[in-house]
Amino acid sequence: MKRILSLVFVLVSVFCYADSVQQGCVKTRGRMINGKHVPGEGLPGSIVSIKDRTAIGVKNNNGTFSFPVTDNQFRVDSVKKKDYVLLDADVASKTYTHTADTLFFVMETPEQLWEDRYSAERRFRDELSIKLKAREREVDSLLKINKISQEEYRQSIQKIHDEYDSNDKLVRDMAERYSKLDYDQMDEFYRQVSYCIEKCEFIKADSLLKTRGNLQAQIESALQTGQLIDQKKAELSKAESVHQHDIDELAKRCYSYFENFKMQYQNDSAAYYLEQRVKLDTTNAQWLDEYADFLQEYLAQYDKALEYYQQSLAIRKQVFGESHPDVAHSYNNIGGVSYAEGDYARALEYCQKSLEIDKRIFGEVHPNVATSYNNVGGIYEAQGEYVRALEHHQQSLAIRKQVFGESHPDVAHSYNNIGSVYHVQGDYAHALVYYQQSLAIWKQVYGDFHPDVALSFSNIGNIYYAQGEYVRALEYHQQSLAIRKQIFGESHPSVANSYNNIGYVYDAQGDYARALEYYQQSLVIRKQVYGESHPGVATSYNNIGSVYHVQGDYAHALEYYKQSFAIWKQVYGEYHPNIATSYGNIGVLYNAQGDYTRALEYHQQSLVIRKQLFGESHPDVALSYNNIGSVYDVQGNYTCALEYYQQALTILKQVYGEYHPYVATSYNNIGGIYDAQGDYTRALYYYQQSLDIRMQVLGSEHPKTKNIQKKIETIMQKLNEEK
């Protein structure tokens, strides 16, 4: 329902300083119009605040200003102008080293910024849709004239969608970059290259880049030059200067190649050029981060991403020391990839370090601090520490409302995250209130058709699903699906998520044919987008397995469960929550088949992982206790079954409190043991406890509520017969 947010910090590398006066300029961004460079305009009337100095009023019409620098470093606290915002907020809250170059602060009105971002995003989506359809027509024509077989046709269509798999984050990242790109600070060659990419003229961009020669050969040459530098100490100063120029030039071209392939959704090629850029300068923390970001977000290569994030952290600590925003950024990145891997202890450790540094530098009320609180809250939620999670999300919300006001997307994200905590606690009423607050803001800011609006519909649908209101749940999930298909097209991960959610609803209704249909649609998209070995693909395999499971088709269920397990193990290793889930599902399957020895073995493996990851008091640990109790239950070993059911109940009450559906299930299970033993008085007590909770949380019409009512009626008859 949410994700850890990654802060973006811009590293400004400064190599020289000529005198004690720093030049600056506040301006709008330079643009390219019809292939021609149109410089930005100066913004007189701006106020630049420098720490320990009076604020500087920009008076020149061209937006230039200057101020004395006494100790070679200075900190910019803020840059402001009425009705304008900075395109990169981070440049106005950091420490700089004096340079002879002009320090630029680029601003635009919020309206212009939104228009530029919207236009860029629409252009990218339209161009990619045209290219995709053109390539599909080419393959269709080959099939019609029997140039290719049906299998080759299927493979070709698969390949096309793999290459052009729409990825919302990618498009939005590129739209964000090009809506803020200042063409004034580029030479003419890279203006033209960037302009071509912005206009989706990728072939022209490639041709321009190739006019500078063979990139790979020049990279190798640059690397050889680097080796020669070590051998020729006498020529070190001159060689280093030449080498750095080559590195900068080649790095720019690597990044342009990266963007060109990224916009065509050729992720392997895009990653290759980021890796080549890293090879050019292994001490550039920003390049390391950007490569690691791509590995994590698009290729799911978490271990490799972690390696590069750790290299970046080591460099930043060496350069800046411990207390610096860029060091906090590295801690946050390591926390984020650890969260993705399911290593919540390490994720919490690093995100808390990031929070401490952000608070020390920025104070309590700052967007970075709010994001750090949000990240820590997300980890606590994953660990089942819902009180702490709620506390951190509420701190994040308070800061965001103070900084941004009530109607801001970040405020909506906080409402959404608070709703998520209430959701997993079974407090559906509060969860629904917060999800609806989030939805109201997103609709106010973005209108009806936006990914975040679709997310809210999905989350509200999940609430109704949990409450057993399947008709309403289906309505909201279908609204979410309609928006996502309109924005992203058919083959997108968010669309796959909606198909998956609709599958859940049909699954719960017992409409297994439809559930299977939607799960399989989700699987097809995820395989197109991610390839075979991705956690999302594993989730689809797992869900398909669950349908076969409840239908009694244990052979197919086991096949899909094992496919899911193999992928998760390949991606995450042995100790991860999803691995524990796989062990649990397979254990439940063996239990249903009457293979109690294997069932117990798999549930115990699941329990070991969950206890190692989460400790003793976590809902997933309770689930394993419950599953083990279930095996003993069907074997007639009521003493052991009762022991494990009671351990599960203790944890669930500790985590969720008394009124939660899972607590009701535990009461029901314990009541079933006493019922089987003929202890009808105790059975009635536990059944009644279960009924009270379900009536309050789920309502009287929920199938589980009606089921427990029937059990109580049966027990009452037995007690009357005894009398």
Q: Give the CATH number of the domain where residue 491 resides.
A: 1.25.40.10
Q: Decide: residue 414, CB within 10 A, 0-12 exposed, 13-18 middle, 19+ buried.
A: buried
pLDDT band at 38 (very low <50, low <70, confident <90, very high): very high
Confidence of residue 14 (pLDDT cuts 50, 70, 90): very low
**Do 45 and 117 share a domain, yes or no?**
no
Q: Which of 531, 555, 576 is the last residue of a domain?
A: 531
| pLDDT confidence band for 11 (50 / 70 / 90) | very low
Q: Do 137 and 102 share a structural domain?
A: no
pLDDT-based confidence at residue 604 (cuts at 50, 70, 90): very high
Q: Which domain holds residue 461?
A: 439-531
In the listed set 531, 563, 593, which residue is the last one of a domain according to the structure?
Answer: 531
Share above pLDDT 70 across residues of the chain, in percent, rounded to a whole number: 96
- Identify whether residues 566 and 490 lie together within a single domain: no
Give me the residues paired with residue 229 across strands.
Answer: none
DSSP H or E run through 24: strand 21-27
- Check residue 18 and give its pLDDT: 37
How many C-beta atoms surround the C-beta of residue 92 within 10 A? 16
Q: Give helix 596-614 / helix 577-593 axis angle, nearest 10°.
A: 160
If asked whether residues 466 and 484 sit together in one domain, one would say yes
Q: How confident is the model at residue 388 (pLDDT cuts 50, 70, 90)?
A: very high
Q: Give the residue with greater pLDDT, 40 vs 262.
A: 40
Same domain, 523 and 543: no
Same domain flag for 519 and 662: no
Contacts of residue 240, defined as CB under 8 A and 6 or more positions apart, other chains included, come to: 229
The two structure tokens encoding residue 37: 């460079």
Kindly state the average pLDDT of the residues 366-388.
91
Residue 130 within any structural domain of the chain: yes
Q: Is residue 625 part of a domain?
A: yes
Specify if 634 maps to a domain. yes
Taking each helix axis from N to C end, the angle separating 302-320 and 325-341, rounded to the nearest 10 degrees, works out to 160
What's the whole-number mean pLDDT along residues 41-52?
91
- Name the average pLDDT for the chain: 88
What's the full length of the chain, in residues? 723
Q: What is the pLDDT of residue 152?
A: 86
Higher pLDDT, 183 or 232: 183
Nearest to 56 by CA among 361, 104, 64, 103: 64
Per-residue pLDDT, averaged over 427-432, amounts to 91
Q: What is the mean pLDDT of residues 299-303?
A: 82
pLDDT for 19 beyond 50? no
Q: What is the pLDDT of residues 465-489, one digit of tens each?
A: 888 889 999 999 999 999 999 988 8
Both 597 and 455 in a single domain?
no
Count each helix (H run) and each strand (E run) in the chain, helices first: 29, 10
Residue 493 and residue 583 in one domain: no
Residues 665 and 718 placed together within one structural domain of the fold: yes
Residues 648, 573, single domain; the answer is yes
Q: With the CA atoms of 351, 352, 353 and 359 taken in that order, what torsion angle do they form, in degrees rounded to the nearest 10?
A: 110
Q: Which of 531, 550, 578 is the last residue of a domain?
A: 531
Report H helices in 110-214.
110-144, 150-163, 168-180, 188-198, 202-210
Residue 1 falls within a domain, yes or no? no
**Domains in the chain: how many in total?**
4
pLDDT confidence of residue 235: 66
Residues 339-366 have a mean pLDDT of 91
Question: Are both 488 and 570 inside the same structural domain?
Answer: no
Element of type H or E holding 108: strand 103-108
Average pLDDT over residues 241-263: 88
| Helix H or strand E segment including 361 | helix 344-362
- By DSSP bridging, strand 47-50 and strand 64-68 are unpaired
Per the domain annotation, does 594 fall within a domain? yes
